[in-house]
Structure 1
Amino acid sequence: MKYIRQFGIILSVTCAGELLKYLIPLPIPASIYGLVLLFGLLFFKVIRLDQVKDAGEFLIEIMPLMFIPPAAGLLVSWEQMRGMLAPLCVIIPVTTCLVMFATGKVTDFMLKHKEP
């Protein structure tokens, strides 16, 4: 029952992110709205970490499985992407490194300013 409640909380926040996407006319994905909303709820202690921790850990554990459908979609649209292969081979490693760098810096910042 604990997992159902935790998934329900995460699903509710995700649905609120979808709703915000339609209410706020910005080109921001609904998942980003949901992440920011969940972060805010956790930060301001509206939701405690233990209320979503187990379900969140489960979702992180199965995350690699979530990449299978997009990878299959890339294989299906290979003919359309063939012309963009050179730019993609440059853009993907560069943006991956930038995201890893930014994530590391944010994590360092958060750990240094963590409340005791």
Structure 2
Amino acid sequence: MKFLWQIGIILAACFIGEGISMLLPFPFPASVIAMLVLLAALAVRVIKPEKLHESSHFLMSNMSFLFVPSGVGIITIFDSIRGSIIPLLAVCILSTIITFAATSFTVRLLVRLQRRLSKGREVEQ
């Protein structure tokens, strides 16, 4: 029963995300809004992380099964995208490289900021 309550909390966040997405004057993914709603609820401690532990662990450990419908969908429309396979692969590879570069830049920036903050604290002491 506890597991169903946890899934219900996650579904409630999804429904709230859908509602907010419909109210926005521009298209925005409801799933992203739902994640932000859930993050906000966890951040302000409206929902305690322990209350979602079992369901989140279950979903994370079975995540590969959640990608099966997407893979099957791509296979069913493969004939339609066959002519665009090279541009699609190029976009995937390029976006992966950009994501890696942005992540690397962000990590380096944060490490530098952390070092500056720790040096500033050492000087004060």
Q: TM-score, normalised by structure 1?
A: 0.81
* SS of residue matched to 1:27: coil
How far off its partner does 1:96 sit? 3.1
The equivalent of 2:84 in structure 1 is: 84
Identify which of structures 1 and 2 has the higher relative contact order when contacts are C-alpha pairs closer than 8 Å and 6+ apart.
Answer: 1
Higher deviation after alignment, 28-37 or 17-26: 17-26
- The residue type paired with residue 12 of structure 1 is A
Distance 1:68 1:18, change over 3 A: same
The equivalent of 2:9 in structure 1 is: 9
Distance 1:49 1:66, change over 3 A: same
| 2: CA distance, partners of 1:92 / 1:84 | 12
How far off its partner does 1:39 sit? 0.5
RMSD value, Cα: 2.2
* SS of residue matched to 2:92: helix
The equivalent of 1:34 in structure 2 is: 34
| 1: CA distance, partners of 2:79 / 2:4 | 42
| 1: CA distance, partners of 2:20 / 2:72 | 30
Deviations, residues 63-85 of structure 1 (Å, cap 9, x unaligned): 11011111111111111101211
- The residue type paired with residue 4 of structure 2 is I
Once the two structures are superposed, the pairs formed by residues 60-79 of structure 1 within 5 Å of their partners are 60-79=60-79
Distance 1:97 1:38, change over 3 A: farther
Query: Among the aligned pairs, what percent are the same residue?
Result: 31
The equivalent of 2:53 in structure 1 is: 53
Unaligned runs of 5+ in 1: none
| 2: CA distance, partners of 1:6 / 1:98 | 36
Question: How many residues matched?
Answer: 109
How far off its partner does 1:100 sit? 5.3
How far off its partner does 1:54 sit? 1.4
Greater helix content: 2
